Structure 1
Amino acid sequence: MAAQNQLPDKMKALVLRSTSEPPAIETVPTPQPTLGSALVRVLAASVISYTRDVYNGKRNYPYPMPIIPGFSAIGRVVAVGPDATKLKPGDLVFIDCTVRSRDDPTDVFLAAVHESYTPGAAKLMKDVFRDWTFAEYCRVPLENMTLLDERRLTGSRGDGGFGLGIEQLGFVAGVLVPYGGLRDIELRAGQTVVIAPASGPFGGAAVLVALAMGARVIAMGRNTESLAYLKQKMPYPGRIETVAITGDMEADCAELKKYGPIDAYFDIGPPEAYASTHIKSCILTLRHGARISLMGGYREDIPIPHVFIMHKNIRLYGKWMYEREDIVDLVKMVENGVLDLRTIENAGQFPLEQWKEAWDDAAEKTGFDQLVVIKP
């Protein structure tokens, strides 16, 4: 196992032992790479807006404890298992938190976040990949790491690079989720897609991705100031329109129809928006044969116009997260300059010891470009 003898015996990690008590920084044994995995030095771990609610039990996500929390991250490989044939120590990688069973890909879970809905996924999380990226080091499945072209991404612009910071690269995690849904409905260049709600972090990221894919975007949201900011910040001018969600379904439909035939609707609403009028408004403005991607976090059933969907041959797609090949394609978009991450400038950066400040900061930052990372 390459460079294993250079690893420290101990490392700092944030450990959660109970949702009724806050986590604490502890000194724990450094994990070791095994068959099918590598050890990564965590450089920038993403902090999502509802991190506090995940780990204080408010969201009631199932996961084993004790656990080292964390989400997707950017890291550097420090040691690899004996079966690694591509990755090597020193490589800069994107660490994906969506872990799948090798012998049954339907057993899929979010490492250190949610053990998912099958016994196999729960077993794999509990027994193998329980701990994650809010630590100095993380043991990661080989297939959950995507090699990044460090020279291209972080190199100076004078040398042909994009000059991105490590924390900006962490935004790959933010755009991956909507990319999974947009790719699933085969969104193509030149098509028009409604994205709603678009004023939150995932919705705003979806707008950025859809524009990079060549689509025309109609962004919907309740906060008109956030919509205006979103439109102003986008690096692809001329292909984004905004429509406010007013709660008046007839008026909202009329506004959407001003922009001509609509090919797709992408929904990524938060749990509390399950009864929002925007869902039906967006569906009722779709052209014949249009597609719908449902990626919202709704816990309740949502109202859909059945007769309209049936007669218009509308196709409904449900998508949880993304597929492994989506990661490779998205990274190529970034490395080739198709998806411009230089838009992401407002990054809150915190050391591991300031995990609480990082979680609080993320809860307050709801804009798509307001990235927060922990840098252990």
Structure 2
Amino acid sequence: MAPDLPPQYRALVLDSIGAGFTVKTLPTPQPTFGSAVVQIVAAGALSYHREIYNGQRHYPLPTPMVGGYSAIGRIAALGPDATALQAGQLVFVDCVIRGRDDPSALYLLGISEGHSDGSKKLAREVWHDGTLAEFVKVPLDNCIPLDEARLCQTLGYSIEDLMYMGYLLVPYGGLRDIRVEPGDTVVVCPATGGFGGAGVLVAVAMGARVIAMGRNEQELERLQEHVHKGTPWACVETVKITGDEAIDTASLKAYGPVDAILDFTPPVAAKSTHLKSAVAALRYEGRVSLMGFVDFSVSDMKIVGSNITLKGKLMYSREDMLQFVKMLEMGLLPKGKDLVDTRTFRLDEWEEAFDAAAQWTGVGRAVAFLP
């Protein structure tokens, strides 16, 4: 046993889908080659976590298991092949697990075991448990170093507020994948959810002009106010999704040709026409990052005739994470509490935490566990 690790730790265990969680005491994981054991300081809660664990979303999970997804923590112990990470260092713990010999064997720790034989093997036999616990064992590659002094002292973020990275990184992966550049006009749709709202913040930090689409006019107004409070120089327009494809297209075209689109359509809105309207407003050689669940069809003449690029994107790469942390540490996003208002809960308050996460949504809102 590593000398600084306790023999046991507390964790939220899901024995079966729909059974609810139980706080249990488990043997503390030990570091091995290619791994780190991290002491969790703050673990994120997603707006749809409750739907995953009660079976509503039908995500495949290997139970019994410790729930969660990404987290912020401190390195507690390292495998013998670690060369840069140090004990006590603050890190972002990424939930995206990839096969080292097959990157397509990908799954999300604590969310889904994926659908390939490789991802299921990793989820069931190697990296099994999530971050709703006092400790977690993860691959070295999934520990992203954070400059604690810069982030928490100079820029004023609390450690639990840094957990908002779990939302910010996803749109950054999509925006970087389609090469969004300073000065681009980017449509984020819908922009009123957790990932869409975070996408507006990230696009602004990357120097883009943003058109935020959504059905909830009150939330669109709050989004605009939140962004301008932290980055008063930002250019953020809003367009209400009416459901009338022609009207929504005209509303977008009023702001001039669009360079790029970031789409986060949730499953319940898969039949919405808002993405067709956004594509219709794209300039020649415009780009689209598809990160949601839209049932999408559009005129071949628009796609082929205008050289439109459509790219599917799941999450982000390690390189994306490292680059994003540079942006965050440079102070390119809103500082301190202007970035996010985080509500926190203990492990035994998991029901209240998941209820809060389902309600406390949109730009600048997050829920975290403090084990």
TM-score, normalization by structure 1: 0.96
Shift of 1:20: 2.9
Alignment of 1:364 onto 2:359: yes
For 1:363, the aligned partner's letter is: A
Q: Aligned to 1:144, which of 142, 152, 169?
A: 142
- Which secondary structure state, in structure 1, belongs to the residue aligned with residue 328 of structure 2? helix
Q: Aligned to 1:217, which of 202, 210, 215?
A: 210
Q: Deviations over 1:26-73 (max 9, x none)?
A: 111111111100111000001000000111111111111110011100
- Which secondary structure state, in structure 1, belongs to the residue aligned with residue 6 of structure 2? coil
Residues 1-376 of structure 1: pairs in structure 2 closer than 5 A: 4-155=2-153, 161-234=154-227, 235-236=230-231, 237-298=233-294, 301-342=295-336, 343-376=338-371
Aligned mates of 2:113, 2:121 — CA distance in 1: 8
For 1:251, the aligned partner's letter is: I
Shift of 1:238: 4.2
Q: Which moved more, 1:214-223 or 1:99-108?
A: 99-108
Aligned mates of 2:345, 2:184 — CA distance in 1: 40
Q: Is the 8 A contact 2:7 2:28 kept in 1?
A: yes
Aligned mates of 1:193, 1:39 — CA distance in 2: 39
Q: Deviations over 1:93-126 (max 9, x none)?
A: 0000001111111111101211112111110111
Aligned mates of 1:149, 1:350 — CA distance in 2: 25
For 1:186, the aligned partner's letter is: R
Q: Deviations over 1:312-339 (max 9, x none)?
A: 1111111011111000000010001112
Q: Is the 8 A contact 2:186 2:211 kept in 1?
A: yes
Q: Which moved more, 1:107-116 or 1:218-227?
A: 107-116
Aligned mates of 1:114, 1:368 — CA distance in 2: 25
Aligned mates of 1:53, 1:122 — CA distance in 2: 21
- Stretches of structure 1 that go unaligned for 5 or more consecutive residues are 156-160
Shift of 1:341: 4.9
Aligned mates of 2:4, 2:249 — CA distance in 1: 62
User: Percent identity among equivalent residues?
Assistant: 49
Aligned mates of 2:296, 2:257 — CA distance in 1: 24
Aligned mates of 1:182, 1:238 — CA distance in 2: 17
Shift of 1:365: 1.4
Q: Deviations over 1:215-269 (max 9, x none)?
A: 0000000001100110011033341100100111111111111111110111111
Q: Is the 8 A contact 1:279 1:304 kept in 2?
A: no
The 3 A distance-change label for structure 1 pair 196 and 175 is same
Aligned mates of 1:20, 1:244 — CA distance in 2: 37
- Stretches of structure 2 that go unaligned for 5 or more consecutive residues are none
Q: Is the 8 A contact 1:334 1:341 kept in 2?
A: no
Aligned mates of 1:113, 1:128 — CA distance in 2: 15
Aligned mates of 2:357, 2:299 — CA distance in 1: 36
Aligned mates of 2:167, 2:234 — CA distance in 1: 24
Shift of 1:306: 2.2
- Which secondary structure state, in structure 1, belongs to the residue aligned with residue 200 of structure 2? helix
The 3 A distance-change label for structure 1 pair 322 and 360 is same
Q: How many residues align?
A: 367
TM-score, normalization by structure 2: 0.97
Aligned mates of 1:293, 1:52 — CA distance in 2: 27
